[in-house]
C-alpha cells in the first residue's frame, strides 16, 4: 500500500512539473520557485532517461489495476517529457531565424553553425554527467588560465575584486575580450557562476573570457555595484601585462548581470559612475543581454500586471537601491538602462535573449528596451531581440540543446561585432597615415618607381612600414571583409580583382594625365576619353563614362589605386609563411605518396610542385547521407586568395572566394590536377606562384548526361546536385545560398563544363584538407 501511495505521489509530481514547464506562470515567482519550472524544461532528456530506465526495471511490478493505471500515467508523462525535449531542440530554429533576419549569417551558414552537433556532442548532451565535464569533452582545450585582482574597494575594509580568465590552448595573440557579469538577484553569486557551455563556446572561437566579481547586496548597493563592474573595464584597458585586445570588449550578463551589463553599455559617458578613473574609456563594442531587467520604474506596467503584492518594487528597494521608491524615484530611474536610451545616450549593438515563459523577469521588459533602442538608432546596427519559445529564466545554465544553440548565436553575434570593429580600425588607420596614405603623399615622380619596386619584393617593403601600417595590413589580410569599407568609398565591387601589372599601368595613366593637366592649354577630347577609358578598364571601375579632367579627380583615383594595391600586398604576405599555425608541411613519407598521386592527374600541365601543406584547422563538413559520394577534388587559385579561403572556407557568400559560375555563386571543383592548374590565372600570380586546394567533397546524386557528347545539358533539380554546366537563355531565377541562379533553358553551345568538372552550392559539402603550392 505504501508503495502505491509513493508511486502515485511520484507520478503526480511529474504531472505537476509538466504543467509548470509547459505554461507561462500567471504571477512572478521567487528565485527559488522558478527552478521547478526551469529544471524540467532544460533537463527533460535526463528525466526521460531516468524514468524510462526505472519504468523498464520495475515493469513486472505493475500487477494491480491501480498500478497499471499509474503506469499508464507515468508513460504519458514520459511521452510529454519527450515532447518538451523536442521543443528544446527546436529552439535552434528561432535563433537561426534571428541571425538570418539581421543578415549576420546566410541561411546555409545559420543551419550549419547554430544547433548542429556531432554524434559525440549529442552523446555528451544526453549523458547524465556534470555539465562541467560534458562541455570540456565537447569543446576541449579551454581552461582557466589565471585569477586576477582588478580592484580593491571599500571605505572601512579593503575588499579585493577578482576576475577569472579563460582561454583556449590554441588562442592567438591579442584576442578580443568577452566580459561576463554573473546573475543572482544582486545578492548571491560570484565569478564562478559563468555558464560553462558559454565559456567553452566563446573561448573555442578565439576570445578571452573574463568572469568578474562585484560586491553583493545588501552589503553594497547601487551605484557602487555598477562602479565595481566598470572598474573591470578600466583594469582591462590599462593593464600592460595582459595579452588581449582591450580595444575590443563585449559585455555579457544574465538576469542581474544582464541589468548591469546593459547599464554599463549605455552609461559610458556618465563619468559620475567612474569615480577616480574618469579619464578611462569604458565604452564597449557590444552587449549580450540575457533576461536582464531594464526598467525599475515599470513605466509600462509589465511587472505590476504579474505582481499583485508589489513584491518587485519592495525587493529592489531593499536589495539594490536601498531607498524608498515613492520618496526617491530618481534613484530608480538612474539604475534603469531604459532611462538612458530614452535620453539619447549612445549604445553599442545589443543581442537580447529572453525566455517566453520567464517567471522572474517578464520578457516584455526586454522587448520595450529593444524597441527604444530601435527608435533611437540613426543607422543600421545589428541589434537582435530573441524571444525563446517556452524557455524559463536561466534557461542556459545547463548544457541543453537550447543553451548550446544560444551560445552558437552569441558566437555569430560576436563574429559580426568583430568584423565591424576590424573594418572601423582599418578605416581609421587609413585616415591616420598608413600604407595607403604613404603612397598618396609621395611626389608623382616617385610613385612609379615605388610601385615597380613593390612588385618583386612585397615582404621586404612591408617591413619598412611603421607599426600602424603593419597592424592595418594584418587586420585586412585576416579579415577580408574589412576591404569592403574602403572599396565601397570608390564605388568598386568588393570582389574586384586587379593585378599588380594592371595597377602599375593605371598609375602610369594617372601620371600621364597629371602631366597633361598641369601643362595647361587643354587636352584633346579623344586623348582624354581614351586615357580615361583605359584607366577604368584596368581598375574595373563601373562608371566607365567618367572623364578624368581635374586634379581633384586624379587625387581620388590615386587613393583608389593605393587601396587596391594595399589589399594585394596584404593578401600576398599572409600565405603561406604567416599562416603557419594553420598550414603544416607534410612529413617526408606522406609527401612522397601525395606527390605520386598528384603527378598521375597532372597530365600535360607544366607546373613544378614546391610544397604540399596540410590544413591544421579544416572546415567541418556535414555528415554525408547514404546516397552521397565521397571524392577528393581540386580547386585552383592564387596565393592572394589562400588567406581568405583558410579564414572562411570555400564559401559561396565570401567576397573574395567562390566566385560566380554560370549558374550563380558556387564552388568550382574538378577531379584532375591538370584542370585545376588550368583555372589558375597567371595574371593573378605575379610572383609566379599558384595554389591548388585538395578538397574532400560529399557529392549528392550526380546528374547523368542526357545528350551525346561530353557536356551536361540539364540544370540540377532543386540544385541539390553538384553538377552543372552551360549558360541559360533568359528565364526564371531562384535564390540559392544568397546567389541568384538562372533556371531558364540551357544554351548547349555555350557550355564550358564537362563530365569531370563540378560546382558545389552548399559549403557544408566541402572539407578543405590540403593546399599545394606550385611554380608556374
26-45: b (≥16 Cβ within 10 Å) or e: eebbebeebebbbbbbbbbb
| pLDDT over 70 (residue 483) | no
Spatial CB neighbours of 365, under 8 Å, sequence gap ≥ 6: 293, 294, 295, 302, 303
pLDDT at 475 over 50: no
Q: Is 572's pLDDT higher than 80?
A: no
**Domain range annotation of the chain:** 108-422, 434-573, 578-775
CATH topology of domain 108-422: Rossmann fold (3.40.50)
pTM for the model: 0.58
pLDDT value at position 447? 32
pLDDT in the model for residue 391: 92
Q: Identify the band that residue 642 occupies on the pLDDT scale cut at 50, 70 and 90.
A: low
The Cα–Cα gap between 11 and 396 comes to 27
pLDDT value at position 461?
A: 31
Q: What pLDDT, in 10s, does the model give residues 114-137?
A: 998 889 989 998 888 888 899 999
DSSP state of 754: B
Q: What distance in Å separates the CA atoms of residue 341 and residue 220, rounded to the nearest whole number?
A: 26
Strand partners, 159: 153
Q: Which residues contact 332 (CB under 8 A, 6 or more apart)?
A: 296, 297, 316, 321, 323, 325
Smallest CA-to-CA distance from 628 within 703, 737, 702, 706 is with 702
For 359-403, the pLDDT digits (tens) are: 899 999 999 999 999 988 877 788 999 999 989 999 998 889 999
Q: CATH fold of 578-775, please? A: Phosphoenolpyruvate Carboxykinase; domain 3 (3.90.228)
pLDDT exceeds cutoff 50 at 442: no
- CA torsion sign for 167, 170, 174, 177 is negative
Cell of 617: 584547422
- Taking alpha carbons only, the member of 643, 641, 579, 577 closest to residue 616 is 579
Nearest one of 430, 105, 260, 29 to 439, comparing CA atoms: 430
pLDDT of residue 470: 38
Q: How far apart are CA 192 and CA 212, in angstroms?
A: 8
| Residue 560's pLDDT band (cuts 50, 70, 90) | confident
Q: How confident is the model at residue 477 (pLDDT cuts 50, 70, 90)?
A: very low
CA distance 714 to 703: 8
82 within 8 A of 55, measured Cβ to Cβ: no
CA neighbours closer than 13 Å in the CB half-sphere of residue 34: 22
> Which is more confidently placed, 736 or 601?
601
- Where would I find the H helices in 190-307? 196-204, 224-238, 256-266
Residue range 718-742, pLDDT digits in tens: 433 333 333 344 455 554 434 444 4
Report for 207-211, 486-490, 559-563, 648-652: range of highest mean pLDDT = 207-211
Decide if pLDDT at 420 tops 90.
no
Q: Which CATH number fits domain 434-573: 1.10.10, 1.20.142, 3.40.50, 1.10.3470?
A: 1.20.142
Cell numbers given for 653: 557568400
What's residue 62's pLDDT? 78
- How confident is the model over 284-340, as pLDDT tens digits? 999 999 999 999 998 888 888 887 657 888 889 998 999 998 888 999 999 999 999
Give me 590's grid cell: 606522406
pLDDT digits over 171-225, tens only?
888 899 999 999 999 999 999 999 999 999 999 999 999 999 999 998 999 999 9
Going by pLDDT thresholds of 50, 70 and 90, the confidence category of residue 410 is very high
pLDDT greater than 50 at residue 707: no
Alpha carbon of 160 to those of 157, 232, 347: distances in Å? 10, 12, 30
C-alpha 124: how far from its chain's center?
24
Looking at the predicted structure, is the pLDDT value of residue 90 above 80? yes
Kindly tell me if the per-residue pLDDT of 487 is higher than 70: no
* Cα-based distances in Å from 682 to 49, 577, 638, 688: 61, 21, 9, 7
Long-range contacts of 237-245 (CB under 8 A, 24+ apart): 237/280, 237/281, 237/282, 238/280, 243/173, 243/174, 243/175, 244/174, 244/175, 244/176, 244/177, 244/208, 245/174, 245/175, 245/176, 245/177
Count CA atoms closer than 13 A to 550's CA, side-chain side. 4
Q: How many CB atoms lie within 10 A of CB 700?
A: 21
In whole angstroms, give the CA distance from residue 606 to residue 515. Answer: 44
Which residues are 583's β-sheet partners? 615
Given this model, what pLDDT does residue 646 score? 64
Res 629: pLDDT? 62
Q: Which segments of 118-244 are extended strands (E)?
A: 142-153, 159-168, 176-181, 208-212
Query: What is the overall mean pLDDT for the chain?
Result: 76
The x, y and z cell numbers of residue 739, run together, are 546567389
DSSP code for 715: P
Distance CA 87, CA 346 (A): 37
> Would you call 264 exposed, middle or buried from its count of C-beta atoms within 10 A (0-12, 13-18, 19+)?
buried
Q: Which of 458 and 10 is assigned the larger pLDDT?
A: 10
Angle ∠(341,347,349) on CA atoms, nearest 5: 125
Amino acid at each position: 500500500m505504501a508503495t502505491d501511495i509513493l508511486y502515485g505521489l511520484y507520478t503526480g509530481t511529474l504531472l505537476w512539473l509538466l504543467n509548470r514547464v509547459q505554461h507561462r506562470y500567471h504571477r512572478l515567482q521567487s528565485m527559488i520557485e522558478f527552478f521547478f519550472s526551469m529544471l524540467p524544461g532544460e533537463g527533460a532528456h535526463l528525466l526521460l532517461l531516468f524514468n524510462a530506465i526505472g519504468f523498464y526495471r520495475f515493469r513486472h511490478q505493475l500487477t494491480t489495476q491501480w498500478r497499471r493505471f499509474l503506469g499508464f500515467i507515468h508513460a504519458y508523462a514520459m511521452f510529454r517529457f519527450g515532447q518538451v525535449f523536442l521543443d528544446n531542440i527546436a529552439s535552434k530554429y528561432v535563433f537561426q531565424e534571428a541571425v538570418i533576419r539581421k543578415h549576420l549569417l546566410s541561411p546555409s551558414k545559420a543551419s550549419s553553425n547554430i544547433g548542429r552537433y556531432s554524434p559525440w556532442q549529442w552523446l555528451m548532451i544526453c549523458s547524465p554527467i556534470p555539465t562541467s565535464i560534458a562541455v570540456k569533452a565537447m569543446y576541449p582545450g579551454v581552461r582557466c588560465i589565471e585569477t586576477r585582482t582588478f580592484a580593491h574597494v571599500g571605505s572601512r575594509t579593503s575588499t579585493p575584486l577578482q576576475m577569472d580568465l579563460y582561454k583556449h590552448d590554441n588562442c592567438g595573440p591579442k584576442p578580443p575580450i568577452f566580459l561576463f557579469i554573473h546573475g543572482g538577484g544582486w545578492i548571491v553569486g560570484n565569478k564562478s557562476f559563468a555558464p560553462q557551455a558559454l565559456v567553452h563556446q566563446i573561448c573555442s572561437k578565439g576570445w578571452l573570457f573574463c568572469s568578474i566579481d562585484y560586491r553583493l547586496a545588501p552589503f553594497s548597493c547601487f551605484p557602487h555595484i555598477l562602479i565595481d563592474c566598470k572598474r573591470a573595464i578600466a583594469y582591462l584597458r590599462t593593464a600592460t601585462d595582459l595579452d588581449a585586445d582591450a580595444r575590443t570588449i563585449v559585455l555579457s550578463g544574465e538576469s542581474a548581470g544582464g541589468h548591469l551589463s546593459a547599464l554599463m553599455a549605455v552609461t559610458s559617458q556618465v563619468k559620475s559612475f567612474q569615480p577616480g578613473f574618469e579619464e578611462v574609456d569604458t565604452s564597449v563594442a557590444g552587449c549580450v543581454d540575457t533576461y536582464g531587467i531594464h526598467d525599475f520604474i515599470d513605466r509600462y506596467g509589465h511587472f505590476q500586471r504579474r505582481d499583485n503584492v508589489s513584491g518587485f518594487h519592495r525587493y529592489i528597494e531593499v536589495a539594490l537601491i536601498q531607498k524608498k521608491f515613492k520618496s526617491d524615484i530618481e534613484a530608480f530611474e538612474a539604475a534603469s538602462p531604459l532611462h538612458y536610451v530614452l535620453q539619447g545616450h549612445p549604445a553599442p549593438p545589443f543581442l537580447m535573449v529572453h525566455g517566453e515563459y520567464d517567471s522572474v523577469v517578464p520578457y516584455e521588459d526586454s522587448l520595450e528596451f529593444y524597441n527604444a533602442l530601435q527608435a533611437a538608432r540613426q543607422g543600421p546596427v545589428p541589434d537582435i531581440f530573441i524571444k525563446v519559445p517556452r524557455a524559463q529564466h536561466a534557461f542556459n545554465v545547463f548544457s541543453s540543446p537550447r543553451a548550446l544553440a544560444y551560445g552558437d548565436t552569441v558566437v555569430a553575434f560576436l563574429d559580426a561585432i568583430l568584423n565591424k570593429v576590424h573594418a572601423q580600425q582599418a578605416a581609421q588607420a587609413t585616415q591616420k597615415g598608413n600604407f595607403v596614405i604613404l603612397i598618396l603623399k609621395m611626389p608623382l615622380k616617385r610613385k612609379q618607381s615605388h610601385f615597380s619596386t613593390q612588385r618583386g619584393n612585397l615582404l621586404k617593403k612591408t617591413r619598412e612600414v611603421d607599426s600602424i601600417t603593419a597592424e592595418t595590413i594584418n587586420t585586412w589580410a585576416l579579415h577580408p571583409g574589412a576591404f569592403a569599407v574602403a572599396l565601397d568609398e570608390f564605388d568598386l565591387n568588393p570582389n574586384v580583382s586587379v593585378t599588380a601589372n594592371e595597377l602599375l599601368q593605371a598609375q602610369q595613366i594617372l601620371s600621364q594625365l597629371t602631366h597633361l593637366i598641369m601643362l595647361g592649354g587643354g587636352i584633346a577630347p579623344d586623348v582624354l576619353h581614351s586615357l580615361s577609358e583605359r584607366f577604368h578598364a584596368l581598375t574595373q571601375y563601373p562608371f566607365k563614362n567618367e572623364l578624368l579632367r581635374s586634379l581633384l579627380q586624379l587625387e581620388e583615383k590615386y587613393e583608389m589605386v593605393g587601396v587596391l594595391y594595399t589589399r594585394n600586398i596584404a593578401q600576398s604576405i599572409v600565405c603561406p609563411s604567416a599562416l603557419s599555425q594553420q598550414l603544416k608541411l607534410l612529413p617526408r613519407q606522406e609527401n612522397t605518396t601525395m606527390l605520386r598521386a598528384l603527378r598521375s592527374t597532372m597530365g600535360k600541365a607544366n607546373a613544378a610542385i614546391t610544397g604540399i601543406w596540410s590544413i591544421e584547422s579544416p572546415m567541418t563538413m556535414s555528415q554525408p547521407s547514404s546516397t552521397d559520394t565521397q571524392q577528393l577534388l581540386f580547386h585552383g587559385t592564387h596565393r592572394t586568395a589562400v588567406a581568405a579561403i583558410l579564414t572562411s572556407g570555400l564559401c559561396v557568400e565570401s567576397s573574395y572566394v567562390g566566385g560566380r559560375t554560370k549558374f550563380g555563386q558556387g564552388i568550382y571543383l574538378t577531379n584532375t590536377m591538370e584542370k585545376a592548374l588550368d583555372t589558375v590565372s597567371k595574371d593573378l600570380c605575379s610572383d609566379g606562384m599558384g595554389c591548388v586546394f585538395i578538397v574532400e567533397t560529399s557529392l549528392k546524386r550526380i546528374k547523368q548526361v542526357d545528350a551525346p557528347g561530353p557536356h551536361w545539358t540539364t540544370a540540377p533539380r532543386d540544385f541539390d546536385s553538384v553538377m552543372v554546366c552551360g549558360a541559360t537563355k533568359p528565364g526564371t531565377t531562384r535564390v540559392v545560398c544568397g546567389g541568384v541562379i538562372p533556371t531558364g533553358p540551357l544554351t548547349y553551345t555555350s557550355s564550358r563544363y564537362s563530365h569531370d568538372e563540378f560546382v558545389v552550392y552548399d559549403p557544408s559539402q566541402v572539407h578543405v584538407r590540403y593546399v599545394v603550392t606550385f611554380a608556374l
